[in-house]
């Protein structure tokens, strides 16, 4: 059972005083519940707090506390990658400057939930407005996004990328913690990396089961070599060329890091992008590959991938032109080149992210167990990869990756 005892009246009163100042009179009551299911947010713990308080008038509102995870391995990964400090800078400074740029061109978009506060005590956490109160909700991660949902994400991503480029031009020091990716040859940042190799071995296991007639021999041989090369290939994804167009990548752009709102009878109308804890300054191909191959329904990716890339470029170019960007605006072919150049990241999306997105149940998932070594961890990963929905789409993706040279 989750322990909420540390989310107490003293903590909440302090947060409310910080927000309302002398207007705050008293906290009348509060209720704490998990904001996500166990396993749905592997890099944090999320709590929803229903507040009832007095600021001269009675107010009832919800806030979200995003807290460093309690698992030992998870905490080590978070600390190695400066997760908390990175999000403080992005939510507290970079996003504010991005919104200022958007407002200059009459764009009232909100890209992410509003961060109300950050604190280190009693735990490292960020405090957010509850997007549920604005009508936003998560979608079922198991099935991927349809075209309408995907188009909204692409537009927000393009605006984030365009504005971040301009913020970087003026204040590059703000991006210091985003200059190194989450796959690194830094010996101090290796805790998570064995998981990538373990995922390749799970894919090898599945391919071996299919390979009764030898039809998969070539791909299986490539996968056997890939398990030893996936970390260097991942490091190459996160290499940065200063002569290319670089942006702030969200860098964890999958279904559970998005919330959508809907018009009555008009379908999906808006999206918020959550969780910037792994954000990386580099090629836009990083986000585009991870999103297009890790979050779309297979039929959407098959039929509409070029259209989505074109929408991304149109939105990116429009924002940069309206903001009088002084550098070279990438052409549509330039964006396609970046997607190809960072194309190995689609392998990471399919091998490492997609099984988690598609898993049927997450209530019993222990992320430390999933990331770890030993028989229990291996059994947990086997169950994850044996998902029939994942197994049904993996063959076509492997054949595509092989044709494009990403398994070599």
Q: Which residue has the tokens 């890939």?
A: 226
* Three-point CA angle 118, 123, 125, nearest 5°: 30
Please tell me the pTM assigned to this model.
Answer: 0.92
pLDDT of residue 42: 54
Dist. CA 324–CA 157, nearest whole Å: 19
Q: Which of 31-40, 102-111, 208-217 has the lowest mean pLDDT?
A: 31-40
Are 349 and 203 contacting, i.e. CB atoms less than 8 angstroms apart?
Answer: no
**From residue 255, how far is each of 92, 149, 273, 292, 401 by CA, in Å?**
24, 10, 9, 11, 22
Read off the tokens for 256: 């559970």
pLDDT at 185 over 90: no
- pLDDT single digits (tens) 122-157: 888 899 999 999 999 999 999 999 999 999 999 999
pLDDT of residue 40: 56
- The CA radius of gyration of the chain, in Å to the nearest whole number, is 22
pLDDT at 41 over 60: no
Eight-state DSSP code of residue 343 = T
**From residue 357, how far is each of 106, 301, 350, 386 by CA, in Å?**
36, 16, 10, 13
Q: Which residue has the tokens 């070539």?
A: 218
**From residue 45, how far is each of 192, 238, 240, 282, 390 by CA, in Å?**
18, 27, 31, 28, 26
Instruction: Map out the domains of the chain as residue ranges.
Output: 9-67, 79-111+150-404
- pLDDT single digits (tens) 367-377: 777 777 888 88
pLDDT of residue 152: 98
- pLDDT single digits (tens) 233-256: 999 999 999 999 999 999 999 999
Are 219 and 252 contacting, i.e. CB atoms less than 8 angstroms apart?
Answer: no
pLDDT at 1 over 50: no
The mean per-residue pLDDT over the stretch 331-356 comes to: 96
pLDDT at 72 over 70: no
């Amino acid at each position: 059972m989750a322990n909420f005892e540390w989310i107490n009246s003293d903590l909440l009163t302090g947060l409310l005083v910080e927000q309302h100042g002398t207007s705050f009179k008293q906290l009348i009551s509060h209720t704490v519940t998990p904001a996500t299911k166990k396993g749905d947010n592997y890099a944090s713990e999320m709590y929803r707090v229903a507040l009832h308080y007095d600021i001269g008038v009675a107010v009832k509102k919800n806030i979200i506390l995003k807290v460093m995870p309690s698992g030992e391995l998870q905490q080590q990964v978070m600390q190695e990658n400066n997760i908390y400090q990175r999000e403080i800078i992005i939510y507290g400074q970079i996003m504010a400057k991005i919104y200022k740029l958007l407002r200059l061109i009459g764009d009232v978009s909100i890209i992410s939930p509003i961060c109300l506060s950050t604190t280190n005590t009693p735990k490292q956490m960020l405090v957010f407005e509850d997007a549920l109160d604005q009508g936003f909700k998560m979608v079922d991660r198991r099935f991927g996004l349809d075209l309408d949902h995907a188009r909204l994400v692409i537009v927000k991503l393009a605006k984030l990328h365009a504005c971040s480029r301009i913020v970087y031009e003026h204040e590059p020091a703000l991006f210091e913690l985003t200059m190194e990716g989450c796959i690194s040859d830094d010996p101090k940042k290796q805790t998570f990396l064995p998981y990538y190799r373990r995922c390749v071995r799970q894919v090898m296991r599945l391919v071996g089961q299919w390979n009764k007639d030898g039809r998969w021999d070539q791909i299986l041989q490539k996968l056997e070599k890939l398990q030893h090369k996936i970390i260097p290939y991942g490091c190459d994804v996160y290499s940065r060329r200063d002569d290319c167009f670089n942006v702030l990548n969200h860098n964890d752009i999958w279904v559970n890091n998005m919330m959508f709102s809907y018009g009555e009878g008009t379908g999906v109308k808006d999206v918020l992008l959550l969780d910037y804890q792994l954000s990386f300054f580099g090629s836009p191909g990083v986000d585009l590959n991870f999103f297009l191959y890790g979050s779309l329904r297979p039929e959407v990716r098959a039929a509409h991938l070029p259209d989505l890339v074109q929408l991304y470029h149109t939105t990116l170019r429009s924002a940069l032109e309206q903001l009088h960007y002084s550098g070279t605006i990438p052409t549509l072919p330039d964006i396609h080149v970046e997607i190809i150049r960072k194309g190995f990241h689609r392998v990471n999306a399919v091998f490492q992210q997609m099984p988690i997105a598609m898993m049927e149940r997450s209530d019993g998932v222990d992320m430390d167990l999933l990331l770890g070594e030993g028989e229990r961890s291996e059994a947990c990963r086997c169950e994850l990869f044996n998902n029939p929905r994942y197994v049904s789409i993996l063959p076509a993706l492997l054949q595509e990756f092989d044709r494009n040279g990403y398994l070599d």
